[in-house]
Amino acid sequence: MATTTLLVEILVIGSLAQAWLVSVFLGVVGPITFNPSPGQVEALKTLAPLLVVPVMSLAYAIGWVVNFAAERLFKVLFEKRWRNSLFTNQEYEVARILYLQRGSSELGREFVLDRHILRIARANVVNFFLVGASSIAYWNFLGPRATVGVILLCILVSVASFEQWRLRYRSYYKRLGRAAKILASEPRLA
């Protein structure tokens, strides 16, 4: 179950990244026109199901790259300020080990869900920012009003995603600290 959830999460992140990557690509090379004949349309319909696997594989690979890049960026910008204000590195590792070794499966599911939400929110900050930035390439095609609307919507979603990530991030580490204190005080059963 956790593996399936992680797979879907990374596919969602990668699919959104594909949108801005295609947008950047088309902004650089210009619009691609394709006027297929009726026979070519039928051939494309036949091939379409076969293209799902490579497109999803690409989304999966890109999803991991975006996840990693967003994690590195957020770690540099925010971890010292927020996580390290609650834990030293050693205290964090002790809390994490206590949770992994002594925590209930319910506590584990709760923390895993938090981690999924944190990853998606963090990646959405990056992805929606880049969707908005890449839409500038379509200024002449969409017109100023529509382009500015897309940019503002993307900024709004990016800011809302950041706020979701920030609140969940702080809450996650506070709850981890509280859980570790409780787990450390409980007598160990043989």
Which pTM value belongs to this model?
Answer: 0.82
Instruction: Give CA angle at 127 (111, 129), nearest 5°.
Output: 120
- Give a yes or no: residue 50 inside a domain: no
What is the per-residue pLDDT across 114-137, written as a single tens digit (0 to 9) for each?
889 999 999 999 999 999 998 888
Q: Is residue 124 part of a domain?
A: yes
Residue 112: inside a domain, yes or no?
A: yes
Cα Rg of the chain, angstroms: 22
Number of domains in the chain: 1
Does some domain include residue 6? no
Joined tokens for residue 159: 């800011």
Quote the CA–CA distance of 112 and 40 in Å, as a whole number: 47
Please, what's the b/e burial string for 104-136 (b: 16 or more CB within 10 A of its CB; e: otherwise)?
Answer: eeebeeebeebeebbbbbbbbbbbbbbbbebbe
- Label residues 27-39 b or e (16+ Cβ within 10 Å = b): beeeeeeeeeeee
pLDDT digits 0-9 by tens, 69-126? 999 999 999 887 888 888 877 888 888 888 888 888 888 888 888 889 999 999 999 9
